[in-house]
Each structure stands twice: as structure tokens, then as C-alpha cells.
Structure 1
Amino acid sequence: MADKQLIDVSYNEKTLSIEYQLLHPERIDRPLLVFLHEGLGSVAMWKDWPAKVCSVLQCRGLVFSRYGYGKSTPRPAQEKWLPDFMHHQAQQFMPAFFEALDIDTRRDRPILVGHSDGASIALLYAATFPDQIQALIVMAPHLFVEDATIQNIELAKSAYLSSDLPEKLARYHDNVDSAFWGWNDVWLSASFREWTIEDEVAQIRCPVLAIQGREDEYGSLAQIEGIAERAPDVQLYVIDDCRHSPHRDKPEQTTDAIAAFVRGLS
């Protein structure tokens, strides 16, 4: 298993230093799982769960911290992300990142494993590049904005300003303000309330496994049900007694579901 590394990626007229980790790159004849983290995630916040999934499936893995997160280039304090930031990540950053790593996605089509914002980015990538992906695994994805989502993001803002949440997040990000406010500001902006990727999801053609906790505090089951209504090959997997992070709340059950799905791909 490779150590965490940094690579320069040209994106949006900038050169960014992106933190990443390759898991078992020697398994060149096995599928490549690419893990896309949540709105406050990073390589470190995944902990060892991606490695465990790759071990169960004997696959390769790629884990990375998006711009503004982990040990990647931080977001300047004056830079405010716009509602289409996830589109930019999927349609512009990810192709540039794959190219920097010399990954040919037309030949070596990855399986994307996304959580929350990362799941939405994975859905957008699959819709934009249908011939450059084998399958999708999305955990607690966002297709549209719900009142409960905004209410809980507002609670996160209050906690960040009044509790030890910044110190806790500092375990996972070199610049905590970059990670938190980049995510929190855009989600709480008035212009984000109309955000939706429902039309894009209708363009997805690859197999999809959509996982969600029944007690997800950031979204109702309408989020994954919306994928099944629009895309042709979707399996839904709802986990009881599970909130927004299935891989943390129910790691074994989530891993088993993913392993069964990947093994079932032709």
C-alpha cells in the first residue's frame, strides 16, 4: 500500500497540490475504486475503510482530498464557491486529476465510491463521461436541497463557532477554515436552495448502487429514490439505525453491500 502523496494538478487556471493515496496499485488487472469524500471529508477522514473495501474485493483504490481539504491546497479565505462547484469538480477537476496520475479512464474505467457531496460529484461525473466509468456506488447522495439538510448545516455552523468542532476537524485538515467555510458558505447561500442535479442523473447509464441510512439527518430517502426513478440500472440499499455516514455507522454492512454489488458487475 502506497503512502499519502501530493501531486500537482492544473485546474481552473491554477496549479493545485492534491493529496492522494494509492491502495494496492500492483493489482493492475483488478478494478480501480475511486473514493470521493463528503463536504467536510479528506483522505484522513476516511480512515482505513477504503483499504478494508479494497482488501475484501482484492481491488486497487485511489483516495484523495479535494481542493480546500486535507493536505491539499487550501481555499483562499476570500474565495467563495458557487452553487455549481460540484459540477466543476466532476467535469473539470476529476479529468485533470486522472490525467496528472496517468490514469486512462477510457481504458481503465473506474468504479466511483462517493459519500454525500462526493456522491453527487460521482453522479455528475458518470452523467458527463458515460464511457469512462464502470459503475457508481453512492452513499447519502444529494440530488436536490431539502429543508432538513439546510437546518443541519446551520447547526454545524453554530457548532463550529461555539464549540471545539474546529479542533476536532483539525485532525483531518491542515486548514480547517478552508474546509469548513468553503462547504458551509455555499450550502447556506440563498442561491443554492434551487440547486438540483436531477436532470443530469437522468443521463447516467452505468450500474448504480445507492446506499442511505434510514435516519440520515441530511436528507430523506427521496434522494436515492430519485436516482432509481431516473437512471436505468439502480439498486437501492437502505440501512436501518444508520445516519448520514453508512461507512462509519454500519461499516461491515456497507462493505458487504458494496462487495456484492461489485462482484455482480459483468
Structure 2
Amino acid sequence: MEAFTIETPAGGIHVARWGPANARNAREERSPIVLLHDSLGCVALWRSFPALLAEATGREVIAYDRQGYGRSAPYPGPQPASFIADEPRNAFARVREHFALEHFVALGHSVGGGMAVEVAGQHADGCQALVTVAAQAFIEPRTLAGIREAEAAFAEPGALGRLERHHGDKATWVLRSWVDNWHSEAFEGWRLDPALARVSCPALTIHGEHDEYGSLAQPRRIAALTPGPADPVILPCGHVPHRECPERLAAIVAEFLSGRP
């Protein structure tokens, strides 16, 4: 794994990349996979999954911390309600430019899955395939209830320290961005449908059977509105398959990408 910082006018973007054993051929022949993290996530919280994915697919894997998260620069103020649709024009665009990614695969977890959908539509010239994992396509009571439960848990003494280990003094901003945006009036009625309609590349939808932030209606909606398998892949896990069943997740993605550029 190689980690470094991309300098931008908005501040540094922390990036890491992993390569399979035959990294040279992977870069030449297969599109790299770019990972987009969830609402409380960062590069470090992908844990062992990027390395597993690189070996399983024979592709380079790139992950980055969005602005305001992990080891990237702080975000200047509150995160706007348009943050999902904005991401392809922000840090993702800088990462693509830095690596001169003519072609790539977008893989996103949770809200990062929504961002990956937006990336596939807004960067259709380069996105060869799309994978969403535990993504939300619309707001449902389970989503909001799960967020409120997590907010209450982080209010317990010392609990915020779990976020501070990865986000430092940005931890409170990270938590409030998640809770406040999803419960805001501006976000009420949000749906991913317009972005899903712009996806033209093959897409794979993956979801956990016991996901506490989204029912199976979420992946079914994504699969129905994107090219690719009509039925989502349902795993026997919760909201974080890359932590709960990483080997199985990597194998499923590898199978989907087999034979693709």
C-alpha cells in the first residue's frame, strides 16, 4: 500500500492505493477501482478490503478521504445538502486528474454508493463499471432511525473517541454532517433516481440482508434503474459487508468484473 497527499486549492486530499502481485500488468490492462467511503468513513476504515480486492480482481485499487474526513483537509463550514451530487466535481475529479484515469471502476459503500452512481453518470466517458454496496436510493424511516440511534450512541461518554481516532478534531463535524444533512428540510424527499437514469455502464448492486440503514427496497431500486443484473446480490450481513464478509464481497466483485476492461 502506498499513501500520499494530493494538494488542491481546497487543501490536501489523502489517498492510498494498493496493487495486486502483478501490478504492472494490472495498470496496463485493467481499469483501476476507485473506492468511495461512507458518511463516517475514510481510507483507514476500509481496513483489509482494498488489499483483498486488488488481489481478487488483479486491479489497482485507489481510495481517498473526502474533504473533511480522515486525513484530508477540513471542510470550510457546513456540508451542503447537495454533497452527494457534488462529489464527482470535487475530490473525485482531483483524484481522477492526478492519476490520469482514462478509465476506472467506481465502487461506493453506503452514501459513497450514491456518490459512485453520480460519478458513473457525470464521468460516463471513463466509468467502465459501477458497484454499489449498502447504498441508499431514497430516504426511508429505517435510514433515519438508524442514524438517530448511532447519534445517541456517540453521545455516550468517550464514544466520540472512536471517530477521533480516524478523523481527529474533525470528528464532531463528520458526525453532525451525517446526522444533520439526512434530517434536514433541504434533504427531505431526496432520491437517487435522476442519477441512476444517467448510468450507462454495467452496474452491480450489493446489499446486506440485515442492513440497519436500508431495507431491500433500496438495492432493488438501484438494480431496476441501472444496466446490469436485474436482481441485487444479497449477503447474509448488515450494513458493512467489507468488514463483516470481506472475502466474499471481494470475490463477488471480482466475478462481476471478470473479462471487463
Task: Write the mapping of 1:245-264 to structure 2, written as runs, cut at 5 A.
Answer: 245-264=240-259
Task: Write the mapping of 1:15-54 to structure 2, written as runs, cut at 5 A.
Answer: 15-24=10-19, 26=24, 27-29=26-28, 30-54=30-54
Distance 1:34 1:74 in 2: 22
Deviation track 1:114-137 (CA, whole Å, cap 9, x = no partner) reads 100111000011122222101011
TM-score, normalised by the number of residues in structure 1: 0.90
Match status 1:238 vs 2:234? yes
- One-letter amino acid matched to 1:225: R
Task: Write the mapping of 1:137-216 to structure 2, written as runs, cut at 5 A.
Answer: 137-174=131-168, 175-216=170-211
SS at match of 1:196: coil
- One-letter amino acid matched to 1:196: R
Shift of 1:264: 4.3
Distance 2:164 2:18 in 1: 24
Shift of 1:188: 1.9
Equivalent residue number for residue 56 of structure 2? 56
Q: Is the 8 A contact 1:201 1:227 kept in 2?
A: yes
SS at match of 1:8: strand
Distance 1:118 1:124 in 2: 10
SS at match of 2:118: helix
Distance 1:231 1:49 in 2: 25
Q: Structure 1 vs Structure 2: percent identity of aligned residues?
A: 30
Deviation track 1:100-126 (CA, whole Å, cap 9, x = no partner) reads x14233xxx111111001110000111
Deviation track 1:121-165 (CA, whole Å, cap 9, x = no partner) reads 000111222221010111011111111100111111112222432
- One-letter amino acid matched to 1:17: G
Q: Is the 8 A contact 1:119 1:139 kept in 2?
A: yes
Q: Is the 8 A contact 2:204 2:223 kept in 1?
A: no
- One-letter amino acid matched to 2:201: C
SS at match of 2:8: strand
SS at match of 1:172: helix
Task: Write the mapping of 1:5-154 to structure 2, written as runs, cut at 5 A.
Answer: 5-10=4-9, 15-24=10-19, 26=24, 27-29=26-28, 30-76=30-76, 79-99=77-97, 101-105=98-102, 109-154=103-148
- One-letter amino acid matched to 1:134: Q
Equivalent residue number for residue 226 of structure 1? 221
Deviation track 1:210-233 (CA, whole Å, cap 9, x = no partner) reads 100011010011111112221232
Q: Is the 8 A contact 2:66 2:72 kept in 1?
A: yes
The Cα RMSD (Å) is 1.7
After TM superposition, what 4+ stretches of structure 1 lie above 6 angstroms from structure 2? none
User: What is the aligned residue count?
Assistant: 254
Shift of 1:187: 1.4
List gaps (5 residues or longer) in structure 1.
none
Distance 1:184 1:7 in 2: 28
Moved more, 163-172 or 244-253: 163-172
Distance 1:8 1:186 in 2: 27
